[in-house]
Structure 1
Amino acid sequence: MSSENCTMLTEEQMLTISVIEVVTACLSLIGAFSILCFSLGRRKACLPEVFPIFQLSGADVLASVFMIVGAVLYLSNRTCDIITALTKSFYISTFLLTMTYAVEALMRMRDRLHRSSAISMSRGTPLKYIMYAVSWAFPVVVTILLQAFSQISQNDFNTIGTNTTVSDIIGFSCSLCLPVFHYNEDMCWENRENGMEWHNAYRLLFLVPLFLVMVVNVILYIFTYRTFRKSLVSRGLLGYHQRREESHIRNQAIMYLTVFWICWLPSFVLGIISLVMGQSFEMQTYYWLYICQAVLAPLHGFCNCIIYGWKRNGFKQALSERSTLASTNAGSYLSVSL
């Protein structure tokens, strides 16, 4: 097959994208690992201020590690479909954990509205722990099951052609290998039984949770902001300090949503375009989007450690406190919420 006549990405383009993804994944690994180290080192991982970002950082670390391992295998011209499946599952976990974070923020804000003291906020709500369990278990279980049912045999590669090797297929953007977010109609899927159906299932497994979180998080933070404002009005607190708190809540919510959308919009757009266009999808046309995706998607873990962790006063205060109990004064409540 001639690369000049192929609508898929060339081997050089794939190598460029892979190297970029390794660099950005390493940054996310360093950032997320710093959250885990400080939280565990100071025995603060279970505090309300720390626990959500600790969970999110754990998923970011695993996703980044498997992304890097997959990149090394890809650059060595080896198939890595199992690694790809695990990478995808842990990135889906990060999606769901960001939504869990937003749900917790809304629950705590409603608690603030209905109770007179921030000390009595809910800590053991079953819904919260159910969401954490689902965020971790659902992506891994479903992805592994899908991988098991759609496992390609070594003989499938032999049906492609006598002069075509596995390395040739990988060079032409095999979807079973790195990069994990590439959506294309390629030989790896066309030369297996019900390959296109399985490929669409992989796409939807990634795109549906991503779209769900993109939409639901916007709704959750809108309700959180409205609930906070309602709590101020109900207490007659509309002074300068309260308006600053209101502005802080709004800006934090906008920042969380903006970072998530910026990081994952290229992947979402590529997935939707390839799903709609099917076999007429030309990867070469959207090479610039693949570059954007390689820069932004794996970098989400690094952004998470900044906006949910090191930039948030409540998180830094919780790590610096000598007591193993979370600060329960009214001033710290804002940081617990957002």
Structure 2
Amino acid sequence: MEHLSRAVGTRFWTSGFNASTEEHSAEFYAALRWIQFSMVILSIVASGSIIGYTALQQLARHSEIRPLFYLSLSDLMLGVCWLIGILLYGESFSAQSIACYNLQVTGQVLYISSFCYTLNYTWCLYRDLRSRIHTMVNDTSCLKITESSNRLSRIVIILSSLIPLLLMVPVFCVGNEYTCYTNLNNSCLLLHTGMLELNSSYKVQKSMCHSVSLYRTTIFLVTFCFVLLGLVILLIKTRILYKKLVTLTGFLGDQQWAKISTIERRVFLYPTAFLFCWGPATILAMVKLLNPINMPALYAVLYILQAFTAASQGLLNCIVYGWTQRTLRFMRQKTHRDVDTQTPLLRSQKQSYSSMQSSSAMNQLAITPTL
């Protein structure tokens, strides 16, 4: 009787503990769902505003705006994909696991495309800055460089959508063939949220699904590291170019200098927004890849950070673009006010000073090779 009572008591305590854990887990994922919902809605509105602005102003065909348009479009599609997943979370229907699994893979295609579009847009900003310098020093090869760069940019835009899709084809095919969506918990929320827990007795199925999960995580990490390395290289090259541009101050008007300063700020701010948005998700993917045991607090913190940051890329990109555009507009208005308030004597003094600066800058350019 004592052994029986102990067994019953142990079973009751264990079931009560598991029920409490499941209840806390459900509350945690419900809070996570609302955080993601709020950030996704803001990102959709922000990305849609950029797309609407470029469409109304008919700027999508311009080489400077086209990369930003496609970046905002990928952010918008990713936000819509995640919004559908958030709405499906908690619903119960027969094909829920299949829908959530394929929605997750589609989301991975879109955010890898967003990585590539971010790198492409940063490269286009650097190319624009370099071409302006070549134009200022009357470099005749600038036109050829610009034409070839525009063709290359179009090719990169096509590859940014095609390569992520090709990388995810094995995940679509193998995952649906071996029913890797079975027993996936919370798979409709953001990336890496659901843990792969298969209770199937088929070793081949478990092995293939584990390989697919490992492949997805590896693709995400490799793509993130590649894009981050490219962004760092472009940042370094932009800083070197910008420092050399300081010697050309005499050549530049106030509006030209305002435009170049805006480009330089965007080259710095867009990679910063990218790292802020995807840093927590990358750390979470690495932690799950290493598979540490008994670290629920770390997972909880990373999940919350990811919910705030990963879904906010469209919002941050819109803030960066809007803030830099507002700064550029303010600097141009200030330039017009300065011109209107200056006397003819002050304007002539400024022109003579600029000509002196131009001659000294030409002497430095004769010594320093251009990029």
TM-score, with length taken from structure 1: 0.76
Which residue of 79, 90, 115 maps to 2:110?
Answer: 90
Specify the code of the residue in structure 2 equivalent to 1:186: E
Specify the code of the residue in structure 1 equivalent to 2:115: F
CA 314–106 in structure 1, closer or farther in 2 if over 3 Å, else same: farther
Q: Aligned pair 1:122/2:165, yes or no?
A: no
Which residue of 257, 268, 289 maps to 2:282?
Answer: 268
Specify the code of the residue in structure 2 equivalent to 1:109: L
CA distance in 1, matches of 2:65, 2:128: 15
State the match for 2:159 in structure 1.
134
Specify the code of the residue in structure 1 equivalent to 2:198: M
CA distance in 2, matches of 1:156, 1:29: 27
Task: List runs of 5+ in structure 2 lacking aligned partners.
Answer: 1-14, 330-371
Q: Aligned pair 1:311/2:323, yes or no?
A: yes
- Would you say the 8 A contact 1:113–1:230 is kept in 2? no
- Would you say the 8 A contact 2:175–2:181 is kept in 1? no
- Would you say the 8 A contact 1:274–1:281 is kept in 2? no
Specify the code of the residue in structure 2 equivalent to 1:127: L
Higher relative CO (CA 8 A, sep ≥ 6), structure 1 or 2? 1
Q: Aligned pair 1:196/2:177, yes or no?
A: no
- Would you say the 8 A contact 1:70–1:83 is kept in 2? yes
Which residue of 279, 291, 302 maps to 2:304?
Answer: 291
Q: Aligned pair 1:177/2:188, yes or no?
A: yes
Q: Aligned pair 1:300/2:325, yes or no?
A: no
Task: Give the deviation of 1:15 after TM superposition.
Answer: 2.0
CA 254–108 in structure 1, closer or farther in 2 if over 3 Å, else same: closer
State the match for 2:73 in structure 1.
58
Task: Give the deviation of 1:154 after TM superposition.
Answer: 5.5
2:214 match: secondary structure: helix
Specify the code of the residue in structure 2 equivalent to 1:304: N
Specify the code of the residue in structure 2 equivalent to 1:18: R
- Would you say the 8 A contact 1:49–1:315 is kept in 2? no
CA distance in 1, matches of 2:287, 2:223: 17
State the match for 1:70 in structure 2.
85
1:187 match: secondary structure: coil
CA distance in 2, matches of 1:223, 1:281: 44
State the match for 1:45 in structure 2.
60
1:312-337 superposed Cα distances (whole Å, 9 cap, x missing partner): 329997xxxxxxxxxxxxxxxxxxxx
CA distance in 2, matches of 1:56, 1:155: 31
The two structures, once aligned, show a CA RMSD in angstroms of: 3.4
1:252-275 superposed Cα distances (whole Å, 9 cap, x missing partner): 433223222221111111111111
- Would you say the 8 A contact 2:44–2:79 is kept in 1? yes
State the match for 2:51 in structure 1.
36
CA distance in 1, matches of 2:258, 2:327: 19
- Would you say the 8 A contact 1:63–1:91 is kept in 2? yes
CA distance in 2, matches of 1:238, 1:43: 31
CA distance in 1, matches of 2:181, 2:152: 45
CA distance in 2, matches of 1:248, 1:155: 48
CA distance in 1, matches of 2:124, 2:199: 42
- Would you say the 8 A contact 2:262–2:328 is kept in 1? no
Question: Which of the pair is proportionally richer in helix?
Answer: 2
Over the matched positions of the two proteins, sequence identity in percent amounts to 22
Specify the code of the residue in structure 2 equivalent to 1:122: T
Greater Cα shift, 208-217 or 292-301: 208-217
Task: Give the deviation of 1:244 after TM superposition.
Answer: 7.5
State the match for 2:132 in structure 1.
112
1:43 match: secondary structure: coil
CA distance in 2, matches of 1:92, 1:283: 28
Specify the code of the residue in structure 2 equivalent to 1:302: L
Task: Give the deviation of 1:55 after TM superposition.
Answer: 0.8
Specify the code of the residue in structure 2 equivalent to 1:263: C
CA 277–67 in structure 1, closer or farther in 2 if over 3 Å, else same: same
Task: Give the deviation of 1:27 after TM superposition.
Answer: 0.7
CA distance in 2, matches of 1:149, 1:196: 11
- Would you say the 8 A contact 2:242–2:264 is kept in 1? no
CA 17–254 in structure 1, closer or farther in 2 if over 3 Å, else same: same
Whichever of the two has the greater Rg, that structure is 2
- Would you say the 8 A contact 1:33–1:61 is kept in 2? yes
TM-score, with length taken from structure 2: 0.70
State the match for 1:147 in structure 2.
172
CA 180–9 in structure 1, closer or farther in 2 if over 3 Å, else same: farther
